[in-house]
Amino acid sequence: MNQREEEQALSLIQTDRALWTTLANRYQTITGEALERLDQLQVKVSVFHANVMPDRVNAAAQQCGQHRCAQILLFTVDKTLLDMTPIVDLSQEKIVQVLNEE
């Protein structure tokens, strides 16, 4: 991922109201603090290909590999994983799935 793609993916996460609300709720549960900005998080953005986990992705995320997609790992500043991994289709500029760690 280049810097522009990372910024695009993170912007889509922050502007998706439902996803941001879920993320903020999990952050609050873990830290006891309100999540107001992306800079309160540690993030790792990487290229995502659907064939890595074909049994866990939905039809939209199956396009990843043909489309340019990002997988975002989200952590608190003390590196606690927020147990949700958004998959962003950068080609279509939308979040196609959120994987939950279970």
Residue 101 confidence (pLDDT): 60
C-alpha to C-alpha distance for 79 and 75, rounded to whole angstroms? 5
In this structure, the number of other CB atoms found within 10 A of the CB of residue 14 comes to 13
Contacts (Cβ under 8 Å, ≥6 apart) of 62: 50, 54
Q: Domain boundaries in the chain?
A: 3-100
HSE value, Cβ hemisphere, 13 Å, CA-based, for 99 = 21
- pTM comes to 0.89
What's the pLDDT tens digit per position in 56-95?
A: 999 999 999 999 999 999 999 899 999 899 999 999 999 9
Over the stretch 26-39, which tens digit does the pLDDT of each residue have? 999 999 999 999 99
Provide DSSP, 13-71.
HHH-HHHHHHHHHHHHHHHSS----GGGSEEEEEE--GGGSTTT--TTGGGBTTB-EEE
Helix 3-15 to helix 17-31 angle (10° resolution) is 90
Instruction: Determine the pLDDT at residue 31.
Output: 95
Q: Give me 73's structure tokens.
A: 């790992």
Architecture of the domain spanning 3-100: Roll (3.10)
